[in-house]
Amino acid sequence: MTQTLTLRVNHETHELAVPSGTSLLTVLRNDMALNGPKYGCGLGECGACGVLVDGMAARACVTPVAAVAGREVITLEGLGGPESLDPVQQAFIDCQAAQCGYCLNGMIMAVRAVLNRKPDATPEQLRAALEYNLCRCGTHVEILAAAERAVRLNAAAIGGGHDVQSPGE
């Protein structure tokens, strides 16, 4: 059975007819051509499919698309663009927190979600937010450094004026 849903994704409204039970990830990748969220485990355990739903982290592979109708969904593509990156995206670039890059979507979205709730998140809170995001390449040190830098960049972006010098300075 097909259902027609109104979705708000990356600040735009979309009306889609989708089969009942379709995952949010399927719609994002196949119907909207948004490739930030990745298909990883398909069980909601690795974090590669991470998105924000009303500012909170969600696993798109196990979220029925019908559950997000009428809510704000933000993907990696909706955080920022080449001219104006989100502070979290900038921090990951600054700290070179990537190897293969497959996990980055989930890592970035998890950090953004925690900063939405707690802009002055501590290193321990950042680690807790990232705990269930898997990185098989082993860039954990760089990812944690990027998360901590994101706190500083985010504070500067919202007017906190924290030190935002480059890593290693």
Nearest C-alpha neighbor of 140 from the set 150, 149, 131:
131
Higher pLDDT, 25 or 135: 25
Q: What percent of the chain has pLDDT over 70?
A: 94
Residue 120, Cβ density class (10 Å: 0-12 exposed, 13-18 middle, ≥19 buried):
exposed
Q: What is the pLDDT of residue 169?
A: 46
For 63-116, write each residue's pLDDT tens digit: 999 999 999 999 999 999 888 999 999 999 999 998 888 899 999 999 999 999
Mean pLDDT of the chain: 92
Q: What is the pLDDT of residue 101?
A: 84
At 48-70, the pLDDT tens digits run: 999 999 999 999 999 999 999 99
Give the mean pLDDT of 143-163: 87
pLDDT tens digits along 112-128: 999 999 999 999 999 99
For tokens 């990027």, what's the residue?
A: 146
SS3 assignment, position 13: strand
Position 3 pLDDT exceeds 60 = yes
State pTM to two decimals: 0.91
Beta carbons of 100 and 137 less than 8 angstroms apart: yes
